[in-house]
């Protein structure tokens, strides 16, 4: 159930379609977020694996992650616990899919910058983390799919959204911790298509512990699909 403040915020946003969702300052066109708010919530210079803040980059990994022989880049645009975090949460908590595109544009710019600097190869395709049919019916859309579609358009990459499905409903991950998260996801995903030999980026709206992304990755591995990196709008990694 929405709190009164959230409800009033939603009503205000709907009545002011050309204003920033956060600060209500006028926008040149359309709905979404102003440049100031987007900049305030940016993730900044962080390790590409654990998202620990970096003083100097490159290299785009912290000292601990530089010693890892195997690692997977995790690219996010915003702090989940920063100013933009509530907007990312509103996408599904309050059914506001219109916030996806302005946020995904910033993520695409970040990915493109890493690629142009030679630090990040682009994948062959994008795979969104699937949601269960019951949740899809309740919400009306899959936030991860919307993010992946926006990135697909921005970066001109194929969208493979039929490779894996969520086979059973699960509890919300943010309500759980540790072993409970892993138990919650056990056998939650299954293969639904073929993509052997593809190197893909797995896309979601938020990364907290990475449990969901890792579970979907293991499922895709069974089909010979190699997940080379994770892309999310917001990150809750390294909260300190």
Q: Where are the domains of the chain?
A: 26-235
Number of Cβ atoms within 10 Å of the Cβ of 113: 11
pLDDT digits (tens, 9 = 90+) for 129-187: 999 888 888 888 999 999 999 999 999 999 999 899 988 877 665 665 666 666 667 77
pLDDT by residue (tens digit) across 21-40? 788 888 766 557 888 888 88
Tokens of 29: 């066109």
pLDDT of residue 1: 37
Q: Supply the mean pLDDT for the chain.
A: 85
Length of the chain: 240
In the chain, the percentage of residues whose pLDDT exceeds 90 is 49
**Mind listing the pLDDT tens digit for each residue in 58-78?**
889 999 999 998 899 999 999
44, two tokens = 């900044």
Q: What is the pLDDT of residue 136?
A: 84
CATH 2.50.20 at 26-235, yes or no: no
Cα–Cα distance between 204 and 209 in angstroms, integer?
A: 13
Task: Look at 120-134, 160-174, 193-207, 209-223 and tell me which has the smallest mean pLDDT.
Answer: 160-174
Mean pLDDT across the stretch 211-220? Answer: 93
Flag whether pLDDT at 214 surpasses 90: yes
User: Which residue, among 33, 160, 29, has the nearest Cα to 87 in the 3D structure?
Assistant: 33
Residue 87 · residue 103 · CB < 8 Å: yes
Express each pLDDT in 107-118 by its tens digit. Answer: 999 999 999 999
Query: In the prediction, which pLDDT does 60 show?
Result: 92
Q: Mean per-residue pLDDT for 199-227?
A: 93
pLDDT of 98 strictly over 70: yes
Q: What is the rounded distance in angstroms from the CA atom of residue 217 to the CA atom of residue 164?
A: 10
Q: How confident is the model at residue 240 (pLDDT cuts 50, 70, 90)?
A: very low
Check residue 32 and give its pLDDT: 74
What local confidence, expressed as pLDDT, does residue 122 receive?
96
Contact 120, 111 (CB under 8 A): yes
């Amino acid at each position: 159930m929405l709190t009164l403040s959230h409800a009033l915020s939603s009503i205000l946003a709907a009545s002011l379609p050309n204003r920033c969702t956060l600060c209500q300052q006028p926008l040149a066109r359309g709905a979404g977020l102003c440049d100031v708010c987007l900049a305030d919530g940016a993730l900044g210079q962080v390790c590409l694996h654990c998202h620990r803040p970096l003083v100097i980059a490159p290299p785009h990994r912290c000292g601990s992650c530089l010693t890892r022989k195997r690692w997977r880049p995790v690219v996010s645009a915003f702090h989940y616990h920063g100013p933009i975090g509530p907007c990312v949460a509103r996408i599904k908590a309050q059914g506001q899919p219109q916030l996806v595109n302005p946020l995904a544009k910033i993520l695409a710019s970040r990915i493109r910058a890493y690629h142009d600097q030679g630090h990040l190869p682009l994948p062959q395709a994008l795979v969104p983390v699937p949601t269960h049919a019951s949740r899809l019916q309740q919400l009306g859309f899959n936030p991860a799919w919307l993010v992946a579609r926006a990135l697909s358009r921005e970066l001109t990459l194929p969208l493979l959204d039929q490779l894996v499905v969520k086979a059973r409903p699960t509890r919300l991950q943010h309500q759980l911790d540790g072993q409970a998260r892993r138990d919650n996801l056990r056998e939650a995903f299954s293969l639904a298509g073929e993509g052997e030999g593809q190197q893909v980026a797995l896309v979601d709206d938020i990364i907290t512990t990475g449990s969901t992304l890792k579970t979907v990755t293991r499922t895709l591995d069974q089909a010979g699909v190699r997940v080379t990196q994770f892309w999310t709008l917001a990150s809750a990694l390294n909260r300190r």
